[in-house]
Structure 1
Amino acid sequence: MNEKMLKKLANYRVLYAEDEAGVRKNVYELLGLLFKDVYLAHDGEEAYRLFEEHKPDLVITDIKMPRLSGIELVKKIRQNDAHAQIIIITAYTEVDFMLEAIELSLLRYIVKPITEPKLFDALEKFLQASEKEHLKALAADWFYDILQKSVTHGADMYELTKKEAKFIELLLQKDSIITYAEIEEKLWEGEYMSLNALRLMIKNLRKKLPEGVLKNIQGIGYKL
């Protein structure tokens, strides 16, 4: 796994569920070096409680656990979250398990023993899937990265300020005109927004966006 991927993983939170102490300790320590936060569960019920509490970006779970198996855990998660990214660790390779895994829309499964190459391969798949969700198209070959709070164009990346990122996200969420009143409320958060301050933010932001993508609707606000 290259340095760029390692840097991206450091922005995510993972839930790891494993009942076997030796395996749990080794994998937990490795995940702790890679992820922003690691939530550790010793069984399926604890894993589900932690999932509901923290809503992690990724779930990695063993299949054979007490109180609630990995398959039962995934089914329970899927009842309320069809898009959760889940990797299952298993000692099984039987056809019945494979068919059930397909139905649960797993991101990946890892057959024990767990090795770094197997884990890193699964984590690369996670990054690929996550980037599809986090990248929002602004124009041809121009994207806004929700996670990194940046705009990318080919190999170029433009970091946004907190206000600039909030502004772009508002425009993407609403997909219509954002009024001056909404901009003041959401970006200035109760403070007075001067016209000069707004113009300066827009001027700087336009330098990081494709030409013509940000449109001013005179007397009303802005839209993409």
Structure 2
Amino acid sequence: MNQDLIKQLSSFNLLYVEDEDGIRNNIFEILKHMFKNLYLAKNAKEAYKLYQDKKPDLIITDIRMPKESGIDLIKKIRKTDSKVRVIITSAHTDLEYMLEATELHLVKYIIKPITEAKLTEALEAFIKSYAAAPVYNLIPQWIYDESKSCVIGPDVEHILTKKENAFLKLLINKNRIITYQEMETQIWDDSNIMTPNAMRLFIKNFRKKLPSGILKNIQGTGYRLVI
């Protein structure tokens, strides 16, 4: 599988739901080194509890399972969560299932058997689904989610202030040194003055929300990201 894709996936958490032990174990072996965390469930009830506890970024679920189907599971989740990405797997090409599934805003619908090629295509679609609401890899296992104004790392999630969000977007999009003058004109608003003390406090608090060492001060000039 493409190493660049694996690197991008390493910042995300996956919930994989499959009632057949053999398939679940085989796919686990393929996926276990790709994601930051991988959670396994063998039925919809177990999956829903894990979803509530772990808040995964992606759910891959089979459709046909005992008692409650994958469709039922995703319908329940969609009542309160429109953002979690979903890939559905099925041994059936039943039109009714497929039509019902399209209403759930899926990333992909995979017809079994699940091959590496099908899985790769689906995971690439998952990454591309963030194009409208960019998610950036800072370093392995650390991401910046622009739409949520937050930086997420292993076991931590930092909500950014309006200024911090604007500054991080500027650092990433420009991919160069952001000068003190640019910070004053583009980050600070007219109601505030960027005094040296205000800037020092801003940078001190901002660093606490980033991976260690990625924000570098260029003496006398400004700041840039080292990623």
Aligned-partner Cα distance in 1 for 2:121–2:29: 18
Aligned-partner Cα distance in 1 for 2:6–2:203: 37
What stretches of structure 1 move > 6 A for 4+ residues in a row?
none
Structure 2: stretches of 5+ with no match in the other structure: 145-159, 169-185, 193-197, 209-215
Count residues with an aligned counterpart.
177
Q: Is residue 134–residue 147 contact of structure 1 (8 Å, CA) maintained in 2? A: no
Aligned-partner Cα distance in 2 for 1:100–1:107: 14
Judging by fraction of residues, say which structure has more helix. 1
Q: Is residue 134–residue 146 contact of structure 1 (8 Å, CA) maintained in 2? A: no
The alignment status of 1:128 with 2:128, answered yes or no, reads yes
Q: How does the TM-score come out when normalised to structure 1?
A: 0.67
Q: How does 1:155-194 map to 2 (within 5 A)?
A: 169-171=164-166, 177=188, 180=198, 183=202, 186-187=205-206
For 1:36, give the aligned amino acid. Answer: K
Q: Is residue 14–residue 59 contact of structure 1 (8 Å, CA) maintained in 2? A: yes
Q: Is residue 108–residue 122 contact of structure 1 (8 Å, CA) maintained in 2? A: yes
Aligned-partner Cα distance in 2 for 1:102–1:177: 44
Q: SS in structure 1 opposite 2:56? A: coil
Quote how far apart the aligned CAs of 1:130 are: 2.7
Structure 1: stretches of 5+ with no match in the other structure: 136-144, 152-165, 190-196, 209-224
Residue 52 of structure 1 corresponds to: 52
Residue 30 of structure 1 corresponds to: 30
Question: Structure 1 residues 200, 185: CA separation in 2 closer, same or farther (over 3 Å shift)?
Answer: same
Q: How does 1:1-224 map to 2 (within 5 A)?
A: 1-135=1-135, 145=136, 148=139, 169-171=164-166, 177=188, 180=198, 183=202, 186-187=205-206, 200=219, 203-205=222-224
Deviations 1:200-219 (A, max 9, x none): 597123x88xxxxxxxxxxx
Aligned-partner Cα distance in 2 for 1:48–1:67: 13
Q: Is residue 15–residue 41 contact of structure 1 (8 Å, CA) maintained in 2? A: yes
Deviations 1:32-76 (A, max 9, x none): 022121000010011011111111111000111124210000001
Q: Which has the higher contact order (CA 8 A, sep 6+)?
A: 2
Q: How does the TM-score come out when normalised to structure 2?
A: 0.66
For 1:97, give the aligned amino acid. Answer: Y
